[in-house]
Structure 1
Amino acid sequence: MARGINKLSAKAVLAAKEPGLYGDGGNLYLQVTDVDGSGPTKSWVLRYMVAGRARKMGLGSINDFSLAEARERARQARQQLADGVDPIEARLAARDTARKETAENITFKAAADKFLAVHEASWRNDKHRAQWRSTLEAYAFPSLGTRPVKAIDAALINAALAPVWSKTPETGSRVRQRIERVLQWIKEGMPLPTIGKAKRVRHHPALPWQEIPAFMQELRERHGISARALEFAILTAARTGETIGATWSEIDLQAKMWVIPALRMKAGKEHRVPLSDRAVQILQELPREKGSAFVFPGAKAKAPLSNMALLEMVRGMRPGATTHGFRSTFKDWASEATSHPEIVSEAALAHTIKDAVERAYRRGELIEKRARLMQDWAGHCTRSPAATGSVTPLRAAAA
Structure 2
Amino acid sequence: SRLRNRIELVLDAAKARKLREGENPARWRGHLDKLLPKQGSRVKPFGSLSAEDTARLMHRLDSLEGAAARATELMILTATRNSETCGARWSELDLEQKLWTIPGERMKTGKAHRIPLTEAMIEVISQQKGQHPEWVFPNSRRTGCIPGNAIGRVLDTLKVHMAVPHGFRATFRTWAAETTTYPREVCEMALAHTLGSKVEAAYNRGDLLEKRRGLMQEWSGFLHEATPPRVYAAVS
**How many residue pairs get matched?**
193
1:363 aligns with one of 205, 227, 232: 205
Q: Cα 1:243–1:387, aligned 2, differ >3 Å: closer, same or farther?
A: closer
- The residue that corresponds to 1:301 in the other structure is 142
Report if the CA contact (8 A) 1:315-1:322 is conserved: no
Deviation of the 1:289 alpha carbon:
2.9
Q: Cα 1:392–1:285, aligned 2, differ >3 Å: closer, same or farther?
A: closer
Structure 2 Cα separation of the partners of residues 244 and 288 of structure 1: 17
1:264 aligns with one of 81, 103, 106: 106
Deviation of the 1:362 alpha carbon:
3.9
Secondary structure, counterpart of 2:97 in structure 1: coil
Secondary structure, counterpart of 1:354 in structure 2: coil
Secondary structure, counterpart of 1:328 in structure 2: helix
- The residue that corresponds to 1:218 in the other structure is 60
Report if the CA contact (8 A) 1:208-1:392 is conserved: no
2:229 equivalent to 1:372: no
Structure 2 Cα separation of the partners of residues 335 and 202 of structure 1: 21
TM-score scaled by length of structure 2: 0.75
Structure 2 Cα separation of the partners of residues 387 and 240 of structure 1: 25
Q: Cα 1:256–1:387, aligned 2, differ >3 Å: closer, same or farther?
A: closer
Secondary structure, counterpart of 2:47 in structure 1: strand
Structure 1 Cα separation of the partners of residues 145 and 185 of structure 2: 32
Q: Cα 1:264–1:389, aligned 2, differ >3 Å: closer, same or farther?
A: closer
Structure 2 Cα separation of the partners of residues 202 and 338 of structure 1: 26
Report if the CA contact (8 A) 1:293-1:302 is conserved: no
2:195 equivalent to 1:350: no
Structure 2 unmatched runs, 5+? 1-42
Compute the RMSD of aligned alpha carbons. Answer: 2.4
Structure 2 Cα separation of the partners of residues 257 and 388 of structure 1: 32
- The residue that corresponds to 2:89 in the other structure is 247
Deviation of the 1:281 alpha carbon:
1.2
Structure 1 unmatched runs, 5+? 1-200, 395-399
Deviation of the 1:379 alpha carbon:
0.4
Report if the CA contact (8 A) 2:79-2:190 is conserved: yes
- The residue that corresponds to 1:323 in the other structure is 165
Report if the CA contact (8 A) 2:56-2:229 is conserved: no
- The residue type equivalent to 2:151 in the other structure is L
Deviations 1:313-332 (A, max 9, x none): 11222123111110000000
Report if the CA contact (8 A) 1:315-1:321 is conserved: no
2:192 equivalent to 1:332: no
- The residue type equivalent to 2:63 in the other structure is E
Q: Which structure has the larger Rg?
A: 1
Deviation of the 1:392 alpha carbon:
11
Structure 2 Cα separation of the partners of residues 264 and 315 of structure 1: 26
- The residue that corresponds to 1:274 in the other structure is 116
- The residue that corresponds to 2:154 in the other structure is 313
TM-score scaled by length of structure 1: 0.45
Structure 2 Cα separation of the partners of residues 278 and 361 of structure 1: 33
Structure 2 Cα separation of the partners of residues 329 and 277 of structure 1: 21
Deviation of the 1:386 alpha carbon:
5.0
Report if the CA contact (8 A) 1:258-1:272 is conserved: yes
Higher strand share: 1
Q: Cα 1:315–1:364, aligned 2, differ >3 Å: closer, same or farther?
A: same
Structure 1 Cα separation of the partners of residues 198 and 232 of structure 2: 44
Secondary structure, counterpart of 1:273 in structure 2: strand
Q: Cα 1:241–1:357, aligned 2, differ >3 Å: closer, same or farther?
A: same
Higher helix share: 1
Report if the CA contact (8 A) 2:176-2:187 is conserved: yes
Structure 2 Cα separation of the partners of residues 202 and 214 of structure 1: 25
- The residue that corresponds to 2:12 in the other structure is none
